[in-house]
Amino acid sequence: MAVLTLDNLTKHFPGGVRAVEGLSLAVGDGELMVLAGPSGCGKTTTLRLIAGLESPTAGGIALGGRPLDGVPPKGRDVAMVFQSHALYPHLSVAGNLGFGLRLRGVAREEIRDRVAWVAEMLGIGELLARRPGELSGGQQQRVALGRAIVRKPKLFLFDEPLSNLDAALRAELRAEIRRLQARLGVTSLYVTHDQAEAMTLGQRIAVLRDGRLQQLDEPRTIYQQPANRFVAAVFGSPGMNLVEGRLEAWEGQLVFVAGSAAGGASAEAGDAGLTLPIAPCHRERLQGRAGKPITLGVRPEHVRPAAECGPDAPRFPATVEAVEPIGPETHVRANAGGQPLVLRTGAAPGLRAGDRIELGVTPESLLFFDSESGHRLGLAHHRR
């Protein structure tokens, strides 16, 4: 069992930089987990700690139940694939694939067999005699993947290996990595700041911010039920609409108000800010927050022209500010009572900048976050 366990892992650098802070998680045997988050959140430092390239300030790392404290990198049975291909330019593809095995004293015949095996798996058999300078970026990255696979390690670590490739090649190699990892069944930790990679590759995603774990869950749960405002903003393209406002009790009804409406105008104020009555599905858990600041979150695909919404959907007027065709869909940027909103709709919405429209939202799709802590309201827990 090659379960990777991080227990309160912490890394502080000189000058007070806290790169990783109390990180605890377990990557299951054969699982592909993604570490996601913006640049500087501690993703790569975490990989380097696991690989033994950095020493932790506190906490522990274990692989297959074996503590890795004090174990040098070459003794950890871990293979790492870097953002740069890091191939030896003077060696052939076959030489690069077999280099690590030669350092470990593997017999020449076994090296030859393993190199042939991994070359066939990756479809690079015809490239074995070439040198890295004769390869395309995608071919070089396949060689870098093969160099990790040929060692047959207990753990793969991927440090943004596709970030230097163009979009089409990234998509192709994402599918290849997913296929290979499933075929080999090797426990894997994959670092990326690309949400598409995170959502398509990870069986689970660990979201980091300033070295701290924000949420660990399956991709669908991360997207649909973010634990806090930060996670909600990180995942989604376009990102989730986040509107700062407050809850008010108006004429016996609980209403979310934002902009000038939050100053105490009536619910029928129209353009005097944005007003949304709170649907029954949310009232019970929000009732005690009347008069308090709150952040409303709604995905762009859940903001629709009112004609496409059900009769119970909250509705409000808005003005179209920009229409952005994106292939099979269109992003519409609108202003609702001074609040910017983005809609994701079909390829030909028939809207133009300056149009006055009525929008609606599906009540069940609305999320509410505490404006101070950022935590999602009504969230009992999220899986760790």
pLDDT at 3 (0 to 100): 97
| 223-280 residue pLDDT tens | 999 999 999 999 988 899 999 999 998 877 889 999 765 554 433 334 457 888 888 8
pLDDT at 231 (0 to 100): 96
Give CA–CA dist 148/162, Å, rounded.
15
Give CA–CA dist 257/275, Å, rounded.
5
pLDDT at 366 (0 to 100): 93
User: Which of 42, 124, 37 is closest to 87 using CA atoms?
Assistant: 124
Architecture of domain 4-226: 3-Layer(aba) Sandwich (3.40)
pLDDT at 379 (0 to 100): 62
The answer to whether 132 touches 89, Cβ cutoff 8 Å, is: yes
With a cut of 50, list the residues of the chain below it in pLDDT.
264-271, 380-384
pLDDT at 311 (0 to 100): 80
Query: Fold identical between 4-226 and 241-370?
Result: no
- Tell me: domain 241-370, CATH 3.20.20.70, correct? no
pLDDT at 383 (0 to 100): 42
pLDDT at 61 (0 to 100): 98
pLDDT at 264 (0 to 100): 46
* Reported pTM: 0.90
Task: List the chain domain ranges.
Answer: 4-226, 241-370
pLDDT at 312 (0 to 100): 78
